[in-house]
Chains A and B, each alone.
Chain A
Amino acid sequence: MSTLYVLDIPENTAVATIAAEDPTVVVDKIGPYFEIRADGPLVVDRRATGCRHAVWYSCVAGVAPGDVITQHDKDALRVESA
C-alpha cells in the first residue's frame, strides 16, 4: 500500500484528479486533505496535472509511515512501500 496526503486547495486539485484516473488508485478525504492510496506504487504524472513547478514541488502534505517518495521531479511523483 502506498498512501499520499495532499491538501485540498485549488492549486492541488489536479494532483488528486490525475491520480484518480488510475483504476488502482483510491482517493478519499480526511478533513481538508485528499488521501490518495494505491495497492502498489502510486505514480502521478506532472505534465498531466498542469502544475507549475512551485506548486508541484510543494504539493505533498504527508506520506504514510513505511512509504517513501522514490521520485519527485519534473516528470512524476512516485510513492511506494519502503
Chain B
Amino acid sequence: MTESTGGLEHRVRGVDHVAFPTFDPAATVRFYRDVLGFPVVHSICAAGWGPEHHPDFIHFFFDIGNDDRIAFFYYFGTENPTRGDKGDAYAKFAADVPEYFVRSRHLAIHVENEEDLLEYRRRLDASDWPVEMQIQHETIESIYTHDPNGYFFEITRAMRPVTPQEDLDATLTIDALLDVLDRPEPTFGKLLARKAELIVDRAAGWQPAEPAGTAGWETVVR
C-alpha cells in the first residue's frame, strides 16, 4: 500500500468519536438508544467554564459498533444559534442552497450484510424516523433517514469486497485530480483525459497483491 499512503505507516484505528450538538436530547436518546439499540457508553456532565461563558453541558456517547462512538453535546439554557430555511441542528442554509450540497456531509454506519441492513430498516420504519430511501450505489447498498436533529443518517453494507484494482483506480483518480487542479479551469473531462494517460503509463505494470478474481474478461477481449 506504499503507493496509496505515500509511503507513510498507517497507524490510526478508525473513528474514536464524532460529535454533534443537539437541542432535543430526549428525541436523540430515543432515536439512537431506543429505536436503533445503540448502547449509551459514556457521558460527561460538565459545569460551564472557560473564558467564553460556556454553558453547562452534557456530553453523551452511543456505541456505533467496533467501539467507535457518536457523541452529542446538550447545552442547558441555550437556543440553537443557527439561522436558515433548511439544514440541521449544526448548520442552516438559505432556501436556494441545493439539496445535494446540504446532504453532502453525512455519517454512514457500516453493517456486515443485507440481513443486518434490513434489520435496521425494520427498526427505523417502526419509529418516528422511517427510512426515506434505500439505494444500491456502485458497490454498496444504503438506507437513509434524518435523525431528530436533522442530521442526514446512513447505514450501509458492501455488496461485495473491494477488489485490489479499485485501490489502484482510486490512486490514479487522485493523482489525475491533483494534476488537473494544477492547471487552469479543471473539468471532469480533463480529469478523465489525464487519468487515461496515467492508466497507459502505470496500469500495465500493476500487479494485484492477491488474485483479483475478475469476471472472465478473456471472453471479452479480442
Determine whether the beta carbon of A10 is less than 8 Å from that of B205: no
Whole-angstrom distance between the alpha carbons of A76 and B208 in the complex?
31
CB-CB < 8 A to A29: which residues of B?
Answer: 217, 221
Structural contact, A55 and B138, CB atoms closer than 8 A: yes
Measured CA separation A8–B216 after assembly (Å): 10
The residues of B that contact A63 with a CB separation of less than 8 Å are: 189, 192-193, 196
| B139, B163, B192, B205: most-surrounded residue (chain A CB, <10 A) | B192
Min Cβ gap B81→A in Å is 37
B165 contacts A by Cβ under 8 Å: yes
Given contacts A31-B204, A32-B212, A61-B199, contact A54 B136 (CB under 8 A): yes
Tell yes or no: A39 within 8 A of B by CB: no
Known contacts A5-B196, A54-B136, A61-B199, A34 near B214 by CB under 8 Å:
no
Least Cβ distance of A71 to chain B in Å?
13
Contact partners of B199 in chain A: CB under 8 A: 5, 30-31, 33, 61-62
Q: Which residues of B contact A16 (CB under 8 A)?
A: 217, 220
B26 contacts chain A at the CB level, 8 A cutoff: no
Interface size on B, residues (CB 8 A): 38
> Which residues does chain B contribute within 8 Å of A60, judged by CB atoms?
192
Interface size on A, residues (CB 8 A): 34
Instruction: Determine whether B137 belongs to the interface, using a CB cutoff of 8 Å to chain A.
Output: yes
Among A7, A28, A54, A62, contact of B165 (Cβ-Cβ < 8 Å): A7
The answer, yes or no, to whether B45 is at the interface (CB within 8 Å) is no
Chain B positions 200 through 222: 1 when the CB is less than 8 Å from some CB of chain A, otherwise 0 = 10111110100010111101111
Residues of A within 8 A of B (CB): 3, 5, 7-11, 13, 16-17, 20, 26-34, 52, 54-55, 58, 60-69
Q: What are some 13 contacts across the A-B interface (CB < 8 A)?
A: A9-B165, A31-B204, A31-B206, A32-B212, A33-B199, A34-B221, A54-B135, A54-B137, A63-B192, A64-B193, A64-B196, A65-B196, A69-B192
